[in-house]
Structure 1
Amino acid sequence: MESFSKTEMQHTLSPIDGSVFVSRQLADEHQLLACVEQATAAYNSAEASWKLTPLSQRKALCKQAIEQLLSHKEDIAKELSWMMGRPIRYAAGELAGVAERSDYMIEVCQQALADIQLEEKPGFTRYIKRESLGTVLVIAPWNYPFLTAINAIIPALLAGNCVILKHSAQTPLCAERLYQAFKEAGLPEGVFQYLHMSHANTAKLIAHEQINYVAFTGSVYGGQMVEKAACGRFIGVGLELGGKDPAYVREDADIDSAVETLVDGAFFNSGQSCCGIERIYVHQHAYDEFVSKAVTLTKQYQLGRADDPSVTLGPMVRTSAADFVRQQIADAIEQGAIAHIDEALFPLSQNGTPYLAPQILTDVDHSMSVMTQESFGPVVGIMKVSTDEQAIRLMNDSDFGLTASIFTQDIDLGLELGERLQTGTFFLNRCDYLDPALAWTGVKQSGRGCTLSQLGFEQLTRPKSFHIKHR
């Protein structure tokens, strides 16, 4: 294995004012290897092997860890606002989702991890066990730093794996908060650890022979780098890589409900959501009403510092991200798109800053990058369609396939249309929500693998068959 790069400092700049919010020294080679050795020892220990710890005990410890995490929700909310720019009024809400997802996974793990019993065969006993893998490396992003991490951490631990968490350089305190919660809950040493690492060292860690699975959430480019680092190791790699999620509003839809739901789906978290709404197709008979009401609602957002309780739209995570969206908007307008939101309504929205006004574009088409490339910002294009067939074709005309939504009062027809969409999750009359009982997965460049639901445990275990012949 190649040598690890030398240690260096990591500085997290707050999108609120550009100041250094937190600095951390990145792990050196000794710390990285010691972390892996500790996880391996905790997994295989003859005296206190985590994989042999009773499931009831693993469940209790995970539950206690989440309770410990939630007890610090006010402080965590402030940290989130400063690290990634989410308005303080919404920041603590992510922890409610952590509790919901964790509770569900703890509830269903007994069934999800149970042995698979086969029909009786005279003279034989046969069954299939679900065995843990070993050490799981979780690489988490900054946009939903606790939710995305917990999707893999809790089922991995419940299944009997040890976990090493590498969090985004933008949200390092999230890794430390999770570590502290599990430590206070009483997890044995080495079962859950974190590392602040450079990209180069992360790639080399993935190549380490004692890393048995990688759960990555991030960009398509990042997913390609993870696959490359794991190439030839024959380990599982779960990739959640984002999307360009569409919605279709049919002529018979409840327009007020569709507007409220989709505007929130497009602009919550400043549009920085993997399953956020990035393109909307509206039937021509509902188009004018939908656009008018969507523009009116969007103008009500308050853009400002994330630590201001009155603010409903915070800055993007960094200026370069805002500049990318600005360029998409400018290119679309140059190609004939119409911008409906006057940026002057949002005085803080200025070039050279991460503060960006929300924008609705019409007269858009798929020759424009704003309708085909992931924006990950507060912009949405709205396109008029004349038929269901046209809408489905345009919704599927994408390199991504994470979620897709249809709004209609005809449930049966909506389901029929949903069957034809190339997507991991189909929503009817809602969007931008993860139900922990449902598999979270994507197709095409949205990635591969699965988290949440009972199926999520299958990614973090391996089947082992038992075939016993009796005398």
Structure 2
Amino acid sequence: MSDIVCISPIDGKELVRRPAASDAGIEAALAAARAAEKAWRRLSIQERSAYVLKFLDAMLAMNQEVVPELAQQMGRPVRYGGEFRGFEERVRYMVRIAESSLAPLVPDDDRPGFRRAVRREPLGVVLVVAPWNYPFMTAVNTVAPALIAGNAVILKHASQTILVGERFQKAMDAAGLPKGVFQNLVLTHEQTSKLLAGGRVDHCNFTGSVEGGRAVERAAAGTFTTLGLELGGKDPAYVRADARLDHAVENLVDGAFYNSGQCCCGIERIYVHDSLYDRFVDGFVGLTRHYVLGNPLDEATTLGPMANVRFADWVRKQTAEALAKGAKAHVDTAAYAADTGSTAYLAPQVLTHVDHSMSVMREESFGPVVGIIKVKSDEEAIALMNDSPYGLTAAIWTEDLDAAERIGAEIETGTVFTNRCDYLDPGLAWTGVKDTGRGVGLSKLGFEALTQPKSYHLRSL
């Protein structure tokens, strides 16, 4: 039996170790989930939602414990608190729209003597494979609506944030969910693949890398297990000539460097109209230099380490390649004592004189580096924004919302933002295009992804 180990990015030492589930334990969990789901689906939406709200209350009560625990596991500074503001917003929203979203669809052509409707039925057992970067919010995006819709849920959390799965289980138990309806399992990659290959679950939602998504698809091939995949991103921003400059600078610096750049929809590349370019770069670099890189348990720290040394090394490699090809670095990393070049601590970096021949402008960085390019028109910006294998979000800074909507229609992306970025609105579909994946989370469409239509055609005699 293998152990799952979390190495803290704070000091590179082992933080926690958990044994992976045994084969017998996995079989017992699957049997419990199948049995529990049959009774769980018979409860009303209101009854299931009540359990989910109790789970929410139990989770919120843990916030003070969770904040330093998260910092130790994946490096986010304690000064930013936990994730429970967005977590709570998403859960409450999905509870609020559940009845209307899951209501039967009745054909509008009335036929006397017939009762006709399409009902949304739960899929059965849903496997959630959650990532470490926003370990609470990304998991609850599927966990909450899946439970509300009548499914049983098995959560497999990332090794980097293995304690988050335990927090979910503790809160579910405190809420009094029937045994087997929700289970947190510690699984290896191989065990997860075997679970999928055997067709043992009805739906899998995976959030992670593109290669991870491909591995999930290969494992589930031929089983007809439905999949939701949120994978890589290289989210762009475009600052038009009519943008409010100070607002664009402030929001885009935060969008690029919050959580050390480890955000699914973080800004990784910026295109600025040439009339604003010089002032934008000056403002952006100036604000970036205010970040304090250090121990995330220190309240003064505004930029913690990346979650793993290998993630920081990838960003270092991208940056070095860009500089070798002629890019200009605007931040002196020597000013950041914590960045020794060999740990998970990585100073923020702003690059100009970049182009799309460089990895840093085309391949996902998922770290505190951003490249800025000067453009002359909307058309040039659109072409560059679309020159990517990914498509999760894109942000446009402008005073003209009609122009933003027109530009947004031309961008290959799942979400178009204007004058904001790096935010997930639970009322809108969270989805991506191209290598960013497939499927949808949250909103009414999120419920549809976690249920299947069942038609009732009843004739009276």
Give the equivalent residue in structure 1 for 2:407: 417
Contact 1:102–1:150 (Cα < 8 Å) also in 2 = yes
**Helix, strand or coil for the counterpart of 2:430?**
coil
Is 1:358 aligned to residue 348 of structure 2? Answer: yes
Task: Give 1:3's aligned residue.
Answer: none
Q: 108, 116, 123: which one pairs with 2:105?
A: 116
What residue is the counterpart of 1:439 in the other structure? Answer: 429
2:182, 2:105 → 1: CA distance? 28
Give the alignment of 1:112-151 within 5 angstroms: 112-119=101-108, 120-151=110-141
Give the % identical residues.
Answer: 53
Q: Where in structure 1 are there 5+ consecutive unaligned residues?
A: 1-6
Alignment of 1:336-351 (within 5 A): 336-351=326-341
Q: Which amino acid aligns with 2:29?
A: C
Q: Which residue of 2 aligns with 1:100?
A: 89
**Deviations 1:187-211 (CA, angstroms, capped at 9, x unpaired):** 0000000111110001011123330
User: Please, which of 394, 397, 405 is the counterpart of residue 384 of structure 2?
Assistant: 394
- Residue deviations 1:333-369, cap 9 Å, x none? 0000000000122111111100000000000000000
Residue 309 of structure 1: CA displacement?
0.7
Query: Which residue in the other structure is 2:417 paired with?
Result: 427
RMSD between aligned alpha carbons? 0.7
Aligned-partner Cα distance in 2 for 1:365–1:166: 39
1:283 is aligned to 2:273: yes
- Aligned twin of 2:12: 18
Measure, in 2, the Cα distance between the counterparts of 1:200 and 1:80: 26
Deviation at 1:387, TM superposition (A): 0.9
Question: What amino acid sits opposite 1:459 in the alignment?
Answer: A
Write the letter of the residue equivalent to 2:255.
Answer: G
Which residue is equivalent to 1:325? 315
Partner of 2:24: 30
Is contact 2:236–2:385 with CA below 8 Å preserved after alignment? Answer: yes
The one-letter code matched in structure 2 to 1:9 is D
TM-score by length of 2: 0.99
CA deviation vs aligned residue, 1:242-287 (integer Å, no higher than 9, x gap): 3000000011100100000001000000000110000000001100
Q: Separation in 2 of the partners of 1:198 and 1:352?
A: 28
Equivalence for 2:398: 408
Match of 1:63 in 2: 53
Paired with 1:29 and 1:91, the residues of 2 have a C-alpha distance of 38
SS in 2 for 1:401: coil
Contact 2:328 2:351 in 1 (8 A): yes
CA contact 2:274–2:374 (8 Å) conserved in 1: yes
Equivalent residue in structure 2 for 1:9, among 3, 12, 33: 3
The answer to whether residue 34 in structure 2 is matched with residue 40 in structure 1 is yes
Match of residue 175, structure 2, among 185, 188, 203: 185
Task: Give secondary structure in 1 for the equivalent of 2:154.
Answer: strand
Match of 1:454 among 444, 450, 454: 444
On the 8 A contact 1:80/1:91 being kept in 2, the answer is no
Q: Any conservation in 1 of the 2:199–2:225 contact (CA below 8 Å)?
A: no
1:247 aligns with: 237
Q: By how many angstroms is 1:67 displaced?
A: 0.5
Deviations 1:55-99 (A, max 9, x none): 11101100000100010101011110000000011132x111110
Give yes or no for contact 2:199–2:220 (8 Å, CA) kept in 1: no
> C-alpha separation between the residues in 1 aligned to 2:204 and 2:197?
10
**Residue 259 in 1 paired to residue 253 in 2?**
no
Aligned residue in 1 for 2:62? 72
* Structure 2 counterpart of 1:103, one-letter code: R
Q: Deviations over 1:17-53 (max 9, x none)?
A: 1111111011111111111011011112xxxx01101
CA deviation string 1:105-160 (max 9, x = no partner): 00000111111111211222210010001100000000000000000000000000
TM-score (norm 1): 0.97
1:195-210 map, 5 Å: 195-210=185-200
Moved over 2 A (4+): 207-210
Which of 280, 283, 290 is 1:293 aligned to? 283
Match of residue 374, structure 2, among 384, 396, 403: 384
Structure 2 unpaired stretches of 5+: none
* 1:304 and 1:314 in contact (8 A); partners too: yes
**In structure 2, what is the Cα distance between the partners aligned to 1:87 and 1:29?**
38
Any conservation in 2 of the 1:50–1:160 contact (CA below 8 Å)? yes
The one-letter code of the counterpart of 2:90 is R
Cα deviations across residues 396-423 of structure 1 (Å, max 9, x unaligned)?
0100000001101111111111111110
Q: How many residues align?
A: 460
Counterpart code for 2:303: L
Q: SS where residue 5 of structure 2 aligns?
A: strand
Distance in structure 2 (CA, Å) of the matches to 1:18 and 1:73: 25
The 2-side partners of 1:195 and 1:213 are apart by 16
